[in-house]
A = this chain, B = another copy of it.
Amino acid sequence: MSELIAEPSTTVAPPKNHGARAWELMYEIFKASKPYVESVASSFELTPQQVYALKGLQRDRPLVMSDLATFLGCDASNVTAIVDKLESRGLVERRSADRDRRVKALLLTPAGQDVLDRINDRMQLPPPAINNLDASDKVTLCEVLGRALDSLNAS
């Protein structure tokens, strides 16, 4: 199958390959889903980034500040403020490691675990664009996006 979408040469738009088109569609869906994401976060009186940080802490192994920065894909300097807010809400606790007191482990408090459980419940319902797909399209999307993400870790 051709990599290019066949289009009459009289069309104004240039021919576009499917990879570029898929990326454009992902961008559109993301933009359209932003109000949904923000409404979910604000229903917990959190920002989307704070929600995502909590999700990073649900792992089996406790994260330290720099791990959370990697998980969030942002600079470590920002994580201080994010964790400050979560800590002031009583959702997260900083604990200095005994072996190296520079390092701070991040632990969910019971209240934090409770909020996270409710967030996870709520997030079982994805934004409308995704939720409107039929079951087989959802499965297909998981498979293809899974391969896309795996291709990054493999290289």
Contacts and interface: CB of A to CB of B under 8 A. Distances in A.
A29 B145 contact: yes
A30 B26 contact: yes
B32 A149 contact: yes
Contact of A12 (B21, B30, B60, B148): B60
Given A12-B60, A73-B32, A139-B1, A20 B148 contact: no
Contacts of A144: 133, 137, 140-141, 144
Interface string A83-119: 0000000000000000000000000000000000000
Interface of A: 1, 3, 12, 14, 16-23, 25-26, 28-34, 60, 73, 120, 123-133, 135-142, 144-149, 151-152, 155
Query: What 3 pairs across the A-B complex have the smallest Cβ distances?
Result: A132-B151, A25-B145, A23-B126
